[in-house]
């Protein structure tokens, strides 16, 4: 019989019994505590930091010595995924290691769209059957529909049952949600007379889900919510999640189930606020990168995990919401716009759709920044697209003191002769630094010559200190922080930013070269995505992440994919446009492009 140990988790105050050999991350997950574990528990991201307050654990390995440093190890800090208890233990989980309380980006620039949804509502009022009128329920309904200009019904038995019961319960009247399909009207829902038809648009980011509850017939957004993507506990980037999914079909289905549950929960809360019910949701649009798209649909992702990275499908999908377990009307469909390639997904198609108003004869660059950054250059009817592995540094991962954009994160700062003046989210004591802060810090350090173009810290400057023989720059001393530890920028942190911005800039340059134009030919430079909204444009220009153009050409549009998803919910014509956009894209695979590597190396330099 194997030994069982007790793990106590603070500040939540939870206790959990685990088998000997279970690591602390698994113990926390078992206790229902959702920790950040960006790399999926393989010990390379240092986001699952915990402090062992009491009890014996396995000694730190090389990874932890590297990621945490002696000072933190001595203070009891450990990586939860690398540490196994040897007896009963008590842990303290720092706030930055917990999910929840994150800053969310769910808005984007709205543009006008003609309301023409796939589902229409019609109120019917019928005469009940009588001895001289023996028509079936559907014959009675069809007569009313045809009189009102609709095609006759098509429905499976579940909906016919609902129809028959509702008509008898509601005095032979009902509101039908109908989806015109050729000679038939597919029945999407049977509702009480007058009930508004709702739609749900979901932007499934790797990190965050943005949900929009929309009144289909008016197009108005009734409510919106940002929730964490629960898949994050299985890995912070899609590559880790693909690796996790490929271990077993159960793993893959678990990623699907967790995601769908989170969407259902978010939708239920949005409905509750509007005094509506989930049965009123008659259409759902979901957008995401290709990996999110496949995991959501329950499609295999093995082929996304290795070259040549082909998706199962690049066509738009329409299927019953029930097939993936989404809570909605019995006849609700889900629509997912087409994917472009293994790493340019349906979310980028939605973003291109939402930003079309900028195009109109202009040359437009659309950069949707995330763990994976999709870039499109639109010029003279051509659409050139590529995808860059920009990594999670802009999300605060793989950075020594990095964190997500939550309370206490340094989001911007100023460095001058007076010292460092950090600004944190919500003005709380600093506990780490988020993506926009890191980019800002690197630009400021460059301006102060604390860094050179190669990203090397200037050890001759007295403000650069050395800890265990490694150069680092102090952003906030322990005395000023929320957790009593120094917050610093290391050489490695700078290098992560160089890799990220270098990848994006190389992608931009290759698209410009492919179109045979110079940066100055770009009329509109659209920066989309949550990080793109908070990004400090001067810093981005200073480190050479983007080419320098007149400032008015840059547009930080927020969640363009979410806006695109709403357009696809409201307008059948937009779906046709999405198809046309996806079909038009000329995809440039950077991993096999001979020009990429030299451009990438060049673009890692910190210069305009």
Q: Site residues (CB under 8 A) for its own copies?
A: 129-131, 133-139, 142, 152-153, 156-158, 160-161, 163-165, 168, 182, 297-300, 302-303, 307-315, 317, 319-320, 323-324, 339, 341-342, 587, 589, 592
| Helix, coil or strand: residue 98 | strand
CB nearer to its own copies: pick between 307 and 459: 307
Under 8 Å between Cβ of 296 and 256? yes
What DSSP letter does each residue of 298-365 carry, written as one string?
Answer: T---GGGSSTT---S--S-EEEEGGGGT--S-TT-EEEEPPP-BTTB-HHHHHHHHHTGGGTTTS-EE
Q: What is the largest CA-CA distance in the chain?
A: 101
- Smallest gap from Cβ 576 to its own copies, in A, equals 13
CB nearer to its own copies: pick between 301 and 359: 301
- Smallest gap from Cβ 517 to its own copies, in A, equals 25
- Smallest gap from Cβ 313 to its own copies, in A, equals 4
CB nearer to its own copies: pick between 53 and 139: 139
CB nearer to its own copies: pick between 262 and 526: 262
Q: How far apart are CA 173 and CA 270, in angstroms?
A: 28
- Smallest gap from Cβ 346 to its own copies, in A, equals 12
| Helix, coil or strand: residue 38 | coil
Q: CA–CA distance from 468 to each of 44, 71, 471, 528 (Å)?
A: 20, 10, 8, 40
- Smallest gap from Cβ 7 to its own copies, in A, equals 37
Under 8 Å between Cβ of 34 and 47? no
Strand partners, 228: 208
Q: How far apart are CA 504 and CA 527, in angstroms?
A: 12
Residue 485: both structure tokens together: 């530890």
Which one, of 125, 179, 189, 117, lies nearest residue 150 by Cα?
179
Residue 499: both structure tokens together: 């890799």
Residue 62: both structure tokens together: 């090389």
Which one, of 340, 351, 386, lies nearest residue 507 by Cα?
386
- Smallest gap from Cβ 302 to its own copies, in A, equals 8
- Smallest gap from Cβ 129 to its own copies, in A, equals 4
- Smallest gap from Cβ 487 to its own copies, in A, equals 43
Burial class (CB in 10 A: 0-12, 13-18, 19+), 416: exposed
- Show Cβ contacts of residue 44 under 8 Å, excluding neighbours closer than 6 positions: 63, 67, 398
Q: How far apart are CA 104 and CA 211, in angstroms?
A: 11
Which one, of 283, 281, 282, 299, lies nearest residue 291 by Cα?
299
- Show Cβ contacts of residue 589 under 8 Å, excluding neighbours closer than 6 positions: 308, 341, 386
CB nearer to its own copies: pick between 101 and 158: 158
CB nearer to its own copies: pick between 160 and 513: 160
Helix axes 238-245, 249-273, angle to 10 degrees: 120
CB nearer to its own copies: pick between 3 and 248: 248
- Smallest gap from Cβ 138 to its own copies, in A, equals 4
- Smallest gap from Cβ 564 to its own copies, in A, equals 21
Residue 245: both structure tokens together: 């999914």
CB nearer to its own copies: pick between 49 and 179: 179
Which one, of 354, 37, 40, lies nearest residue 203 by Cα?
354
Under 8 Å between Cβ of 384 and 544? no
- Smallest gap from Cβ 134 to its own copies, in A, equals 5
CB nearer to its own copies: pick between 141 and 214: 141
Q: How far apart are CA 93 and CA 135, in angstroms?
A: 67
- Smallest gap from Cβ 592 to its own copies, in A, equals 6
Under 8 Å between Cβ of 481 and 429? yes
- Smallest gap from Cβ 158 to its own copies, in A, equals 6
- Smallest gap from Cβ 258 to its own copies, in A, equals 16
Strands 153-154 and 184-191: parallel
CB nearer to its own copies: pick between 300 and 477: 300
Q: How far apart are CA 444 and CA 464, in angstroms?
A: 14
CB nearer to its own copies: pick between 330 and 540: 330
Residue 377: both structure tokens together: 């250059």
Helix axes 290-297, 249-273, angle to 10 degrees: 90
CB nearer to its own copies: pick between 17 and 133: 133
- Smallest gap from Cβ 551 to its own copies, in A, equals 37
CB nearer to its own copies: pick between 179 and 485: 179
Q: How far apart are CA 97 and CA 83, in angstroms?
A: 15
CB nearer to its own copies: pick between 330 and 603: 330
CB nearer to its own copies: pick between 100 and 156: 156
């Amino acid at each position: 019989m194997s030994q069982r140990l007790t793990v106590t988790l603070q500040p939540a105050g939870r206790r959990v019994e685990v088998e000997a050999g279970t690591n602390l991350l698994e113990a926390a997950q078992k206790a229902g505590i959702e920790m950040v574990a960006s790399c999926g528990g393989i010990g390379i991201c240092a986001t699952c930091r915990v402090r062992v307050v009491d009890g014996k654990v396995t000694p730190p390995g090389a990874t932890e010595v590297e990621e945490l440093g002696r000072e933190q190890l001595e203070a009891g800090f450990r990586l939860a995924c690398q540490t196994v208890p040897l007896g009963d233990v008590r842990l303290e989980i720092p706030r930055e290691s917990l999910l929840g309380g994150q800053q969310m980006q769910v808005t984007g620039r709205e543009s006008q769209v003609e309301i023409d949804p796939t589902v229409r509502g019609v109120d019917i009022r019928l005469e009940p059957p009588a001895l001289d009128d023996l028509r079936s329920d559907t014959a009675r309904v069809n007569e009313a529909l045809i009189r009102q200009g609709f095609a006759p019904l098509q429905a499976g038995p579940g909906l016919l049952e609902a129809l028959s019961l509702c008509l008898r319960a509601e005095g032979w009247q009902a509101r039908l949600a109908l989806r015109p399909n050729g000679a038939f009207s597919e029945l999407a829902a049977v509702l009480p007379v007058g009930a508004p038809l709702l739609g749900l648009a979901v932007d499934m980011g790797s990190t965050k889900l943005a949900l929009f509850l929309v009144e289909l017939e008016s197009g108005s957004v009734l409510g919106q919510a940002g929730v964490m993507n629960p898949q994050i506990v299985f890995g912070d980037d899609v590559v880790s999640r693909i690796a996790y999914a490929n271990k077993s079909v159960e793993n893959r289905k678990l990623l699907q189930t967790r995601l769908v549950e989170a969407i259902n929960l978010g939708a239920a809360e949005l409905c509750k606020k509007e005094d509506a019910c989930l049965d009123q949701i008659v259409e759902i649009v979901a957008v995401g990168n290709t990996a999110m798209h496949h995991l959501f649909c329950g499609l295999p992702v093995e082929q996304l995990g290795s070259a040549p990275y082909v998706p199962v499908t690049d066509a738009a999908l329409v299927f019953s919401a029930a097939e993936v377990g989404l809570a909605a009307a019995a006849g609700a469909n889900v629509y997912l716009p087409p994917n472009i390639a293994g790493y340019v997904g349906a979310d980028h198609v939605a973003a291109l759709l939402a930003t079309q108003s900028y195009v109109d004869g202009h040359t437009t660059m659309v950069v949707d920044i995330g763990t994976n950054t999709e870039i499109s250059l639109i010029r003279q009817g051509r659409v050139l697209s590529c995808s860059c592995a920009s990594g999670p540094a802009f999300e605060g991962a793989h950075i020594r003191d990095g964190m997500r954009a939550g309370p206490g994160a340094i989001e911007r700062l100023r460095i001058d002769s007076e010292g460092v003046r950090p600004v944190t989210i919500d003005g709380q004591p600093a506990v780490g630094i988020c993506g926009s802060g890191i980019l800002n810090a690197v630009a400021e350090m460059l301006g102060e010559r604390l860094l050179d173009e190669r990203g090397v810290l200037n050890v001759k400057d007295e403000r650069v200190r050395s800890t265990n023989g490694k150069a680092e720059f102090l952003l906030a001393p322990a005395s000023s922080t929320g957790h009593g530890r120094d917050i610093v920028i290391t050489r490695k942190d700078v290098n992560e930013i160089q890799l990220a911005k270098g990848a994006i800039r190389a992608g931009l340059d290759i698209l410009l070269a492919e179109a045979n134009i110079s940066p100055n030919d770009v009329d509109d430079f659209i920066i989309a995505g949550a990080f793109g909204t908070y990004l400090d444009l001067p810093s981005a220009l200073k480190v050479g992440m983007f080419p320098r153009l007149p400032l008015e050409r840059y547009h930080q549009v927020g969640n363009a994919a979410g806006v695109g998803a709403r357009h696809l919910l409201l307008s059948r014509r937009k779906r046709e446009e999405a198809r046309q956009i996806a079909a038009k894209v000329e995809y440039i695979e950077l991993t096999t492009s001979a020009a990429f590597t030299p451009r990438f190396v060049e673009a890692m330099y910190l210069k305009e």
